[in-house]
Structure 1
Amino acid sequence: MKFVDWLKQKLNTFVSPQSHGQLNRRGCRHDYHQRKRWQGRNSEPVEDVDDGKVDIQSESVASDSESDDLLQQQKPAPVEVEPIPKIQSRVTFFYLDEDDNPIKEPDILIGNSGERFSIQLPSFDRYYLSAIEDFSTYFEDDDQEVTLRYALKDGLPVLVYFLDIDTGKVLHHVRILSDKLGKPYDVHAEDIPDYRVINNTGQTYGYFDDRTHGIIFYYRRINWQTVQPVEYYVRLKSDHDVFDEPSGKVLKTGLPANVIAKIFARIDTTDNQSWLNIGGFEWIQNDHLEPSDPPTNHLIPPITKTSRNPVMLFGTINFVAGQQIDVFDEPYGTTIGALEDGSRVSIKARIVDDQGLIWYELADQSIIFSEYVRIDE
């Protein structure tokens, strides 16, 4: 039994789970159970002596269990790892205008480093976003600053017109002023040769805003002293030349004596001349005539010759913003209505008179001077 005790001691002190002997023992467990079934229920240990070797099955199993317990005792305990603390930082959004002035209180976001963030950028009625500096979408270890720069929007334009108050003639091209919202404007009349300013409408100074402003400067000939709208009839006592304006160009066709004409306006000039308007752009001198009652027949035959060519055109009235322009029953005829600036018109005929002026006949038979219509391209 000394040999058996010595063998048990050796088996109990062998603990390596990777040893060849332990692997052999585990591989032999199947044979052990087979032999146990052959021997019946005898629980006594069986000694097999073969070539000087002793097989002690029960002791071998016991030593195997003890070895497993020893392995469990020798396993190191798990090490508890301290969690890494998260770093918090902030992102500050600044909203500045073109002069580095704040237009809104800054927005501040706080979060952990590495986390993603999102922000809804504000919108402003008077400004648009022009640049972003140092933009980011993640929190970093250090605080961040994001600058959003905004520029003022453009205000609606200021339109400046220069008109002959007596004829409605445009004396100068339209001036269009524009600038940023809130910027000031100050408008002055243009110097136009042979004319003087007598009146104006619209505010000549102010600030650009979200409205279109119209300013009209009205001019009158320097040598026109008085201008009076009138309505009466005269009979010509002699032949009269017809002019395109007072002291202007003589038209090809004049008026014979004894013709009764209707007068629409009278102009007295600084050189002691007097002129009478007989319709449209036709004028006669106020001499060699006398007042008359209205005639019962046609007053005056057409002064100028015209040619009419059918067309199919479309256009827009281009006069003065918010103002109306007269339309006539015929070239140089009587006013029968008015059209507002910006109105759409349909043109069915182009009329050219022997003075080289162009008129348009509209769809409703009315006539308008071509200078005040912008034809569609």
Structure 2
Amino acid sequence: MTLLSWIKKQLNIITPSIHPAEHRRHARHMDYHRKKRVKFTEPNSASKPEAPTKPQPDTQNQNDELNGERPTVTAKQATSGPAANSRVIFSYLDEDDAPIGQSDILNGVAGEPIHFKIPDFSDYYLTEIDNFTATFDSQDQEITLHFARKEGLPVMVYAMDTDTRTILQSVQLLSGKLGKHYSVTAPEIDGYRLTSSAGQTYGNFDNQTHGIVFYYRKSNWRVVQPVTYYVKLTANHQVFGDPGGQALRTGLPANVIIKIFARIDTTDDVSWLNIGGSEWILNANLEPSDLPSYALVADITKTSRNPVRLAGTISFVPGKSIALFDQPYGNQVGSLADGSRVSISATIVDDQDLIWYELADHRVVPQRYLKIDQ
């Protein structure tokens, strides 16, 4: 045995050997402080997470503090928890601060942008927004959107002579907000009495234009009766522009056979006969007659025609049509609705200074029913 072998043998006797099992046990136990630091700094590790355990004091950090040294904390160790959630409530109010729709609620994370589209309320338009914000806050927020009602389309009120179809006063326009109630009463017009009306005199303003026509008759016209017959004049007759109105320059001679279109009896017991258009004679000095087989006299009314090149619009009553004639005081040969566009080829002036417009298709219309372009 050599000296080196003897010394080694003596050391084995003094220091117990470490059994393999004990060595493996020590190998399994990693440094505690190192193991904790790895788990904290790698929260997104791909390894399967362990069950949570009660945190143990960091002995190394405590020793550092005892030695007067400040422990080092990494950025990931100082990271706070998830961002706070919040919500935004959107309320919709009208001019009276009454809700016009159910409130909307959006949930989000503080600091994130708000993505929101203002809803469409068909009868309202947006006027202002209270507490406007573009991002979620750490606290709940409420945004109030104020709306006002839109204006409805107007209601137009007309006053018309039911016998002559002339407008008696300027058209009245009523306006209001959508859904607002309206009620119309017939205006009082001197010298006339109301006979009837057309159109809804009450309702709510909406997205349509409404027309109301009040029809009037002269107060002293007791009876108005459309008729069709012929009479023979037994004496010369004056012709009037209206019953009881001014006499025209041209009269009718005796023995003329003419057609009667209407009869009017006034409150003073005077009877008038319409002989066409705006021409009237007294119901006197005449007798019934048959339709003549030949023309007894020439045309009563003389006219002058002047070629022109104009354009215009039929101006009558919305939704109504006017009659068109083959010549002044002639036969009706059609009609045109209010608002129709027309081309004018000539103006016709009769010997009573009444003006007619001849259209491009040679039909004529009284001047008062046509508005010429400026």
TM-score of the pair, normalised by structure 1: 0.77
| Candidates 128, 131, 134, aligned match of 1:134 | 131
Whole-Å separation in 2 of the counterparts to 1:290 and 1:350: 37
Whole-Å separation in 2 of the counterparts to 1:346 and 1:170: 24
Whole-Å separation in 2 of the counterparts to 1:183 and 1:78: 70
SS at match of 2:143: strand
Larger Rg: 1 or 2?
A: 1
Alignment of 1:1-377 (within 5 A): 79=74, 80-85=76-81, 86-298=83-295, 301-377=298-374
* Letter of the structure 1 residue corresponding to residue 312 of structure 2: G
Unpaired segments ≥5 residues, structure 2: 1-70
Give the C-alpha shift of residue 115 in structure 1: 1.0
Unpaired segments ≥5 residues, structure 1: 1-75
Root mean square deviation of aligned Cα = 1.7
The superposition leaves residues 236-270 of structure 1 with CA deviations (integer Å, 9 ceiling, x where unpaired) of 11111100010011111111111111111011111
TM-aligned CA distance change 1:282 to 1:113, over 3 Å: same
Give the C-alpha shift of residue 299 in structure 1: 5.8
The range that moved more, 318-327 or 278-287, is 318-327
Number of residue pairs matched by the alignment: 302
* Letter of the structure 1 residue corresponding to residue 350 of structure 2: D
Whole-Å separation in 2 of the counterparts to 1:183 and 1:320: 24
Residues 279 and 334 in structure 1, CA contact (< 8 A), matched pair in contact too: no
Give the C-alpha shift of residue 121 in structure 1: 1.0
Q: Which residue of 1 aligns with 2:34?
A: none
Q: Quote the sequence identity (%).
A: 57
Whole-Å separation in 2 of the counterparts to 1:134 and 1:180: 28
Whole-Å separation in 2 of the counterparts to 1:77 and 1:94: 50
Whole-Å separation in 1 of the counterparts to 2:272 and 2:150: 52
The superposition leaves residues 153-203 of structure 1 with CA deviations (integer Å, 9 ceiling, x where unpaired) of 111211111111111111111111111111111111111111000111111
The range that moved more, 246-255 or 298-307, is 298-307
Whole-Å separation in 1 of the counterparts to 2:321 and 2:248: 28
The superposition leaves residues 119-167 of structure 1 with CA deviations (integer Å, 9 ceiling, x where unpaired) of 0111012112222222211112322221111111111211111111111
Give the C-alpha shift of residue 311 in structure 1: 1.2
Whole-Å separation in 2 of the counterparts to 1:137 and 1:154: 31
TM-score of the pair, normalised by structure 2: 0.77
Q: Which residue of 2 aligns with 1:13?
A: none
